Amino acid sequence: MFPYWENQDISKSIKYLESSYNKTKAAAGGKEVIIETGWPSAGATHGAAVANPANAAYYLKAFTTWARSHKVRYFYFEAFDEPWKVAPEGEVGGHWGIWDANGQMKPGMAASFGKR
């Protein structure tokens, strides 16, 4: 579930994800639903969705807070930037990581881990 690809403004991203999750859970007939999600820190704007470091950090924190409070299991996309994806996917493809390609945590991401 990727609100970025659904043209969602960052301020509406978690509400949108929650709605998508609830629809998927209802259709799953009691089976567990595991979410994959993320937000890019650079690349093209996609509708109202802006890929930048502040939005990526906000989304990680807001999503993990939501997931914990609702006891939702998830995979966060992704741990590290993958610059090689820029060629086939465009600028946004290489910038989904919590850490950059050199292993440095991106600005604002530490807050999701209880650090400043």
Q: How confident is the model at residue 109 (pLDDT cuts 50, 70, 90)?
A: very high
Nearest alpha carbon to residue 62 among 93, 81, 42, 39: 39
**What integer pLDDT is reported at residue 7 of this predicted model?**
98
73 has pLDDT over 90: yes
Q: How confident is the model at residue 113 (pLDDT cuts 50, 70, 90)?
A: confident
Q: What is the mean pLDDT of residues 26-33?
A: 96
116 has pLDDT over 70: no
Q: What is the mean pLDDT of residues 77-106?
A: 96
Sequence-ordered alpha helix ranges (H) in 1-116: 13-27, 53-70, 86-89
Q: What is the mean pLDDT of residues 19-40?
A: 97
Q: What is the mean pLDDT of residues 3-13?
A: 98
Output 79-87 pairs: Cβ under 8 A, ≥24 positions apart.
Answer: 81/41
Q: How far from 81 is each of 22, 97, 102, CA to CA, in Å?
A: 29, 4, 9
* For the chain, domain boundaries: 40-73+81-116
Q: What is the mean pLDDT of residues 12-30?
A: 97
115 has pLDDT over 80: no
